[in-house]
Amino acid sequence: MVKGVQMKIKKIMDTNNRKKFKKMLNYAFGEWKDEKIKDDELSWFENAEVLGVFENKKLASGLVLHDFEQIIRGSIKNMGGIGGVATYPEFRNRGFVSSLMKKAFDVMNANKQCVSMLLPFKETFYEKYQYVSTNNNMRVEFDLQSFKHYKNIDPEGKWKEIRKESRKAEKDFLKLMEKVAPDKYHGLILYSRKIKGIWKKMMKNNMFIFIERDGDIAAGARYTKKGFQEMFDTGKIDVKEMYWEDSVSRGMLLKYFAKHLDQIKKIKFLLPYGLNFYSWVKNNIKIDISVDDVPWMVRIIDVEKALKNIPANAEGEVNIKIEDPNCSWNSNVYKIEGNGKKLLIEKTDEDYHINADIQAITALLYGAYNLEEVKNRFKFESQDSKKEKILRLWFEKRFIFNTFYF
């Protein structure tokens, strides 16, 4: 601390300081403009806490802590999404972001947000705060002609296609997402339950298609479309996210997109790893596949809340000592029990079978690595192969699939 300089971390609640923070974000991540920040530009901060470091009452650094829910192995957990971590150049290398991160851990714990996720500017920076790298999304582009065969499908039932603009689609799309996503995707943020002003900002210029079966919505997708006049006679549909109850309703969703063949040449999907998209197409000429460069990073904030009620078919019991240098409330010995359906967890005074750090437990919960990789990368001390076998059964390796970038 520089002599005579006062540093203070506080929640930024007032509109004036939030506009100053938005200016900082523009400087750090966007294009600097002299224009004043409008009130509607602050909608991204709704239902979020903005933390700022002030030096002599001047905003020097800050971050956004979003309040979300996340699907983890089929269980829904309260999640703190960290974004907008920024510091003006003249205040860098002063430890401000480190102070903000530690403050964010306290806030998430108080808010009962038991897990956290972020998209890093540099993984090694956030590893210092025990975040663990996972994966990011896969984007696959096809020639729309390879979906032509869907135009002829005619399954049983009364089917209807309903296209809506974003301002009219929110309720139906979020309801569909909540209904089908927990059983299909791991790591997906259910922004539907707590989203407020973010919807209007995020969904601008997006279209929505719903597929009704016998009067009920069975599938839906969010997409953008550029016609041939904008794409030099190619045209493209970009499907940002899609949900379906079963393969039949998915087929009807793809049938809708196939109806654009006269206007559109390409279609692109955001898809989870492990999905056999080859089964969707016929006579495909070319597939372009890309992956996002930076992986999502995750962290457990509260061990008990994070592991409680995680689905687990295998029965067994393991006592684990966990060490967490930044979230001291996690540093305990826990008895974790699988009853054949889910995990139960409680603190215990019994001897432990395994000694591990919080990164190892985070990696297992999220399925970022299998147990052998965890033992190689993180602290994981065990001499009990039977207990390790139980952990392998509980925490199979998984890929995260998340469509919401914050």
pLDDT at 85 over 90: yes
The average confidence (pLDDT) of the chain is 93
pLDDT at 201 over 90: no
Confidence bin at 284 (pLDDT 50/70/90) = confident
Q: Across residues 346-360, what is the average pLDDT?
A: 97
Query: pLDDT by residue (tens digit) across 44-59?
Result: 888 889 999 999 889 9
Q: What is the pLDDT of residue 47?
A: 81
Q: Could you tell me where the DSSP H helices lie in 88-140?
A: 96-110, 123-127
Q: What is the pLDDT of residue 87?
A: 94
Query: pLDDT by residue (tens digit) across 243-252?
Result: 999 999 999 9
Query: pLDDT by residue (tens digit) across 20-38?
Result: 999 999 999 888 888 888 8
Query: pLDDT by residue (tens digit) across 139-178?
Result: 999 999 999 999 999 999 999 999 999 989 989 998 999 9
Please list, in sequence order, all residues whose beta carbon lies within 8 angstroms of the beta carbon of residue 384, skipping any fewer than 6 positions away: 353, 354
Query: pLDDT by residue (tens digit) across 95-113?
Result: 999 999 999 999 999 999 9
Q: Do domains 7-113 and 138-291 have the same CATH topology?
A: yes
pLDDT at 229 over 90: no
Which CATH superfamily does the domain covering 7-113 fall into?
Gcn5-related N-acetyltransferase (GNAT) (3.40.630.30)
Following CA atoms 232, 204, 166, 46 in sequence, which dihedral angle do they give, to the nearest 10 degrees?
Answer: 160
Q: What is the pLDDT of residue 204?
A: 84
Name the architecture of domain 303-394.
2-Layer Sandwich (3.30)
Instruction: For residue 151, give both structure tokens.
Output: 């135009």
- The helix or strand, by DSSP H or E, that contains position 140, with its residue range, turns out to be strand 138-143
Q: Are 206 and 222 in contact (CB under 8 A)?
A: yes
Residue ranges covered by each domain of the chain: 7-113, 138-291, 303-394
Q: How far apart are CA 222 and CA 400, in angstroms?
A: 20
Q: What is the pTM of this model?
A: 0.93
Backbone angles phi, psi at 124, to 5 degrees: -65, -25
Backbone angles phi, psi at 174, to 5 degrees: -70, -35
Residue, of 227 and 72, whose pLDDT is higher = 72
Query: How many secondary structure helices (H) and strands (E) does the chain include?
Result: 10, 19
* Least confident piece of the model among 14-18, 39-43, 121-125, 133-137: 39-43
pLDDT at 232 over 90: no
Name the architecture of domain 138-291.
3-Layer(aba) Sandwich (3.40)
* pLDDT above 70 coverage of the chain, percent: 96
Q: How far apart are CA 401 and CA 71, in angstroms?
A: 10
